[in-house]
Structure formats: C-alpha cells, structure tokens
Amino acid sequence: MPELPEVETVVREIRAPLVGRRFARVRAGKLALRKPWQPAWAKILTGSRVTAVTRRGKWIVIEIERNRYLVVHLGMTGQFTVTHADAPIAAHTHFVIGLDNGAELRYRDVRRFGSLTLYAGRAELDASFESAGLGPEPFGLDRKYWRDSLARTARSLKAVLLDQRVVAGVGNIYADESLFRAKLHPALIGKTLTPAASDRLRKAIEGVLTFAIERRGSSIRDYIGGSGERGSFQNEFKVYGQTGKPCPRCKTPISRIRLAGRSTHFCPKCQRVE
C-alpha cells in the first residue's frame, strides 16, 4: 500500500501539470471503487480550474475553484498520473480526466481499493478527516504530544506507528525502517520508553520519511509516481523485507515476526527488548 512518501511523490509530480489547468472532461469507468462515485461530480468538475494540490496523511487533495476538493486515496494498487492524451490507456484505468491543454489525468487501480471523492467545501473535507481520526503529520511533530502519546499507551511501538490517529501517513515499511534507525525493538511497549528514546524515534520517523521522499518512495509492486516513474527507496531498505540478510550495522541476520497484524522486520541485536 502506498504510504506517505509515495503519496507525497505523486502530489509533487502532478502539482505543476495540474495547478492552473481546467478539467475539460471527466470519464469514470463502470466498476466500483472502495467509495461510490457520484455521476453528478463529473458535471461539477468539468470546466473547473485546479488551484492547489496537497497531501494529508495518505490522501491526495486537489483543490478546485469555488471551494471544492477532489480527494484521492490510492488504496493498495492505485496509480495517479498525468500523461499525454494519445498514450495507450492501460487496463484497470477507472478514471480519465482531460485537461484544457490536451493532457490527461488518469487513475488506474488493479484491486480497486482506492477512491476519488468530491467534497463541497473545506468544512466538509475537514469533517471527513476528523471522522477518520487522522492524527498530526509526522514532520515537525510536537515533542510533548509525541512523548505523551507513547507514555499513555500499553501497545507496541509498531502498533503505535501504524495507528493513523497517532501520526498520519506512516505504514508498515517506514515503521520498520524508523524503528531500526532509532535502535528500538518494535515490540517495546510505548509507555516504557524514556523521553530520550521517544525523541530518538520521533526524529527517526521524520528522517526516514524525508529520505524516502528524496528517493521518490518505494516501488515494490504497483507503485509509480505521478510522472509514471518508479521510486527507488526499496534499494535503501535496512530491515524491511530483508529477513535473513545481515544487518547493515552489526551483520546479525534480520528477523521477522508478526506484530499488530503485520510482518515486522528488525535486527535482534541492534534493536533489543530492554
């Protein structure tokens, strides 16, 4: 599933081709995605100008004039790209949005777990994120908030990092990589961390995500950026998917366990349970 670095990469790569352009036409496929698409939305969007493209957690937010917002979630296999109109349309393409300069914005999703939803105002959009319990962004995360969030939970660190209500955008890959950078075992209980260890993890999360964005995210299966190019952070993995390979710090074989319902990778020597 695309996580924050992948979504941020898509946002950065579609922003320039979209902002200032108008939607000339909107064509939706017949197969349903995770959330239902309202046919009336196509009429609302047609002729409207894009004013901004941003990200909130793992959501892409396309701001349209007259205070409307087209919000896109990539699900597990979603691809959201700007391409030439004469480029062949790939199988599993569910939306084709023509732009006023002849380019097209296309949404492709093999498993159809993603969604495109139109919100009729900022209040409606904010209410949607609030109902989802979406936590703060991981960049510039308030130190007291983070320490307090860990201090009051009896859950494992891995479970905390996957909880979008605590911090938005972090998923399985970057949770494992952040815990490795912070030298913390994923099964450690949040309330057992010292303030120093809490700060170390907070900085590790931001550092890993920043580096991953610089590498345009991780292309393991379906993910491509908004330009159609693959990411390269998968070449930088220290522990994720590296089971049995030597730890890059101490050469101990990387272990894999299951935590919070997800496969979890760590170095049993560098990330000991204290």
pLDDT at 274: 63
Per-residue pLDDT of 245-258, as tens digits, reads 999 999 999 999 99
Say what the pTM is. 0.95
Overall average pLDDT of the 11-36 stretch: 97
Q: How confident is the model at residue 273 (pLDDT cuts 50, 70, 90)?
A: confident
What span, in angstroms and rounded, lies between the C-alpha atoms of 135 and 93? 31
Per-residue pLDDT of 80-110, as tens digits, reads 999 999 999 999 999 999 999 999 999 999 9
Overall average pLDDT of the 33-59 stretch: 97
Q: Which amino acid type is present at position 179?
A: L
Residue 185 has pLDDT above 80, yes or no: yes
| CB-based contact 181:207 (threshold 8 Å) | yes
Per-residue pLDDT of 126-135, as tens digits, reads 999 999 999 9
Which of 108-117, 144-153, 206-215, 225-234 is predicted least confidently?
A: 225-234
Burial 183-221 (b: 16+ CB within 10 A, else e): bbbbbbebeebeeebbebbbebbbebbeebbebbbbbee
Secondary structure letter of residue 190 according to DSSP: G
Q: Which domains does the chain have, with CATH numbers?
A: 4-131 (3.20.190.10), 143-266 (1.10.8.50)
Spatial CA neighbour of 35 closest among 167, 126, 130, 128: 128
What span, in angstroms and rounded, lies between the C-alpha atoms of 188 and 186? 6
Residue 222 has pLDDT above 90, yes or no: no
Task: Please identify which residue in the block is written with the tokens 């170390």.
Answer: 200
For CA atoms 59, 64, 70, 73, the dihedral sign is negative
Tell me the pLDDT of the chain averaged across its residues.
Answer: 96
As beta bridge partners, residue 148 has none
Residue 272 has pLDDT above 70, yes or no: yes
Catalytic positions:
2-3, 58, 262
